[in-house]
């Protein structure tokens, strides 16, 4: 089994937990690779708050079918639901096949011919307050949903809403 850890390097608690978890995985003979090698990983542990998880999602999304353990070591914990004291028992259950999988849907956005996968939301807005009103056309699955003029648009997944 191979994993990776992504943590908020600006939070001393997250740094401490990273070191603790590295020791834990070493004892379990589980290989931990750098996040730059996430494509090799079976799971990822994210340590921080919701912001850390959202930033990490850009790397995580690149690897399909990876299990994510989001440990709350930050201020907000809507998405990082695993409390620090729960991590090891939760991971032990995972190792023996006892787990609850909560799948998250992604939003695929095409912008200037680039496909972008998004976990929480996208914001389309004017460049600055004095900019002209935007002409926005929204479609999904190649079907037009609506067209209107506005200052902007927020499209959220169930995770982001």
pLDDT of residue 118: 78
Look up 50 and say whether it is catalytic.
Answer: yes
Residue-range domains of the chain with CATH = 2-95 (3.40.50.10330), 107-156 (no CATH)
Tell me the pLDDT of the chain (161 aa) as tens digits: 999 999 999 999 999 999 999 999 999 999 999 999 999 999 999 999 888 888 898 888 877 788 999 999 866 677 778 888 889 998 999 898 887 777 777 777 777 888 887 788 888 787 777 778 888 888 888 888 888 888 888 888 777 76
Can you give the pLDDT at residue 161?
63
Question: pTM of this prediction?
Answer: 0.79
| Residue labelled with tokens 């639901």 | 81
Question: How many Å apart are CA 145 and CA 152, to the nearest integer?
Answer: 16
CA 148 to chain centre: 31
Q: Which listed residue (42, 50, 67, 151) is catalytic?
A: 50
Give the integer Cα–Cα distance in Å for 65 and 44: 11
CA 10, CA 98: separation in Å to the nearest integer? 33
Report the 10 Å Cβ neighbour count for 22. Answer: 13
pLDDT of the residue at 89: 92
């Amino acid at each position: 089994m191979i994993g990776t850890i992504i943590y908020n390097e600006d939070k001393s608690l997250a740094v401490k937990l990273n070191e603790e978890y590295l020791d834990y995985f070493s004892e379990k003979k589980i290989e931990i690779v750098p996040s730059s090698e996430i494509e090799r990983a079976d799971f990822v542990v994210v340590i921080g708050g919701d912001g850390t998880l959202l930033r990490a999602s850009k790397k995580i999304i690149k690897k399909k079918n990876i299990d994510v353990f989001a440990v709350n070591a930050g201020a907000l914990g809507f998405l990082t639901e695993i409390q620090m004291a729960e991590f090891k028992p939760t991971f032990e259950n995972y190792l023996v096949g006892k787990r609850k999988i909560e799948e998250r849907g992604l939003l695929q956005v095409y912008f200037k011919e680039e496909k972008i996968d998004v976990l929480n939301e996208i914001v389309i807005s004017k460049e600055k307050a004095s900019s002209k009103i935007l002409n926005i056309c929204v479609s999904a699955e190649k079907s037009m949903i609506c067209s209107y003029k506005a200052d902007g648009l927020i499209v959220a997944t169930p995770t982001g809403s």
